[in-house]
Amino acid sequence: MNRSLLQKIAMPTALLLVWLFFSFMLDRDALLGREGARFLFIGSRNLTQLFIEYSIVATLALGMFLIILTGHIDLSVGSGVGLIGGIAAVLIFKEGWPAPFALLGAGGSALVLWTLIGVFVVKQHMPSFIITLGGLLIFKGLFWLVIQNSTIPISRGGEDNLYSLLTTYSLPPQAGLILALGLTAVIAWLQFSDRRERISHGLPPGSGAAMAGRIAIAAIAIFGVVLICNSFRGVPVSLLILTAVAGAVYFITVHTPYGRNLYAIGGNEEAAVISGIQVDRVLIGAFVLMGVAVAITGFMMTAYSGASTTTVGDLMELDAIAACVIGGTSLKGGRGSVVGVLLGAFIMTSLLNGMTLMAVSPELKFIARGAVLALAVWMDVKFSRA
C-alpha cells in the first residue's frame, strides 16, 4: 500500500525537483528581482519552446507505450523519425508535391514499414529487440540515401506550408482560451457521466470531492499551459497534436477491448491465447499504431529542425523508452498508464531543455541521458518485484 503511494508521488516529486533545480540555477537573479535579469528557464519564451519539444518526445513515447505494454520494444523509431520526415521533405522539395500529399505519402510508407516489422515479429517469431535493432540501422541507411547525405528544406523558397507550420504556427490567444475551456468541459463531462452511470447501476460512485479535485487539477494544468503560451506567442499547434494523440491512446488503452488485450498479452501471453485473444492481430496492430506515432513525430521533429538533416531523430528511441519507463511502464509488459508516460516524457524533456540552457557540454548530456535511462530501468526492476 505504501509502495503504491510512493510510486504515485515519486514522479511528480522528481519533476518538481528538476524544475526547482533549473529555476535555481538559471533564474535565481530574476527571481530575486535583480535589475536586468530575465527568466531563462521558467520564462514563457522558453516554456513554449519546451512544450514544443515535449510534444515531439511525448508523441513518440505514447506510441512506444503501446509496444512496451505488450512486452515488446521498438529500437528503430529514432531512425524512423528521421526517415519519414526525410521522405516528406524530399517529396516536397525535390518532387514538388503539395505538402498535404507529401505528408500522406510519407505517413503511408511508415504504415507499410511498421506493418512489416509487426509481421516479422509475429509470424516469423523474431524477437522485437533484434528486428528493430536491425531496423535502426536499415532505416538510418535508407534515410541517408533518401536525403543523399544533404540538408533538405521542408518547403520550396522558404514559404510556409502545412509541414513547416507544424512547429511554428501558434493559435491566437482567444482560440487557445476557448480550446482550454472546451477541453476542461469535456473532461468534467466525462467524469460526471461516468459517475452518473455508476450510480444508475447501483455501484459505489466514489468520492465526489476526489472527482472535483481531479477536474480542478486538470483545469489548472490546461489553463496554466495556455496562459503561459499566450504570454509568448500562443498555444503551439504541436501541443494540440499531442493532446489529440494522448486522448486517442488514452481511449484505446483504457476504454477499448483492444487496449485490454494489450495489457493481457503483456501480462501473460500464453493465457491471452487461451482466453481467445487474437494475439497476432493485436501485436501487428500495436506496431501499426507505432508507425503512425513515428510518422507524426517525424514530421514535427523535422519541422522543428527546420530541414531534414542526417541527425534528425538521433537517439530519440531512447528518450521515448526512458519516458515510458520513468512513467512507470514495466518493460516486461502489462503495466503502465498514459498519464504516467506523459509525466515521464515531461521529466525527460525538462532535463534536456534545462541542460541545453545551462550550456552543458554534449558529452555530459549523453552521460546524463544514459544515467536517467539506467535509473528509470532500475526503478522499474525494483518496483516490479512488488
Partner 1 sequence: MSHDPSQPTIFASSPQSLSSRPPVLEARGLIKKFPGVIALRGVGFSLRPGEIHALCGENGAGKSTLIKLLSGIHPHGSYEGELRVDGEPVAFRSIRDAEAAGIGVITQEFALVDDLSVAENIFLGRPPVRRGCIDWTTMQKRAVELLAQFDLAVPPDAPVRSLGVGQKQLVEIARAMDKKSRVLILDEPTAALTEKEVDVLLKLLQRLRAEGTTCVYISHKLGEVFAIADRITVLRDGSSIVTLDAKDTSIPQVIKYMVGRELGDLFPRKPPLAPGEVLLSVQDLTVARNASEKNFLKNISFDLREGEVLGIGGLMGAGRTELLTHIYGAWGVRKSGHVFFKQNPLSLHTPSKTLRSGLALATEDRRRYGLNLSMAVGFNLSLSSLHDMTRFGKINFSSEYVRNQQFFDQLRVKAPGQHSVVGGLSGGNQQKVVLGKVLMTGPSVIMLDEPTRGIDVGAKLEIYELINRLTAEGKGILLVSSELPELMGMSDRIIMLHEGQIGGEFVRGEFSQEKLLAAAVGQTAAVNN
Residue 285 lies near partner 1 (rule: CB under 8 A): no
Question: Which residue of 35, 274, 361, 362 would you call a contact of partner 1, by CB under 8 A?
Answer: 274
Q: What is the DSSP letter of 184?
A: H
H-assigned helices in 153-236: 162-165, 173-200, 208-230
Question: Which residue of 334, 336, 340, 344 would you call a contact of partner 1, by CB under 8 A?
Answer: 334
Q: What angle do CA 167, 136, 286 make, to 5 degrees?
A: 75
Query: Which triple of cell numbers denotes residue 9?
Result: 508521488
Sorted by sequence, the CB contacts under 8 Å of residue 306 that are 6+ apart come out as 153, 154
Binding characters for partner 1, 99-128, by CB under 8 A (x = yes): ------------------------------
Sorted by sequence, the CB contacts under 8 Å of residue 189 that are 6+ apart come out as none
Number of residues that bind partner 1 (CB under 8 A): 28
Residue 33 lies near partner 1 (rule: CB under 8 A): no
Question: Which residue of 72, 140, 335, 369 would you call a contact of partner 1, by CB under 8 A?
Answer: 335
The answer for 39, left when phi > 0, alpha when psi is -120 to 50, beta otherwise, is beta
Q: Which residue bears the cell 506510441?
A: 63
Residue 13 lies near partner 1 (rule: CB under 8 A): no
CA 161 to chain centre: 24
Residue 273 lies near partner 1 (rule: CB under 8 A): yes
CA dihedral 59, 110, 131, 319 (to 10 degrees): -20
From 88-96, 106-114, 272-280, 372-380, span contacting partner 1 (CB under 8 A): 272-280
Nearer to partner 1, 144 or 263 (CB): 263
Residue 385 lies near partner 1 (rule: CB under 8 A): no
Binding characters for partner 1, 225-254, by CB under 8 A (x = yes): --------------------------x---
Residue 198 lies near partner 1 (rule: CB under 8 A): yes
* Contact present, 317 and 136 (Cβ < 8 Å): yes
Nearer to partner 1, 25 or 271 (CB): 271
Residue 68 lies near partner 1 (rule: CB under 8 A): no
> Residue 343: in which H helix or E strand, if any?
helix 338-357
Nearer to partner 1, 251 or 366 (CB): 251
By three-state DSSP, how is residue 72 classified? coil
Q: How far is the CB of 129 from partner 1 (least distance, A)?
A: 21
Question: Which residue of 200, 207, 311, 361 would you call a contact of partner 1, by CB under 8 A?
Answer: 200
Residue 194 lies near partner 1 (rule: CB under 8 A): yes
Q: What is the DSSP letter of 158?
A: G
> Residue 153: in which H helix or E strand, if any?
strand 152-153
Nearer to partner 1, 148 or 256 (CB): 256
Binding site for partner 1 (CB under 8 A): 1, 194, 197-198, 200-201, 203, 251, 255-257, 260-261, 263-264, 267-268, 270-278, 334-335
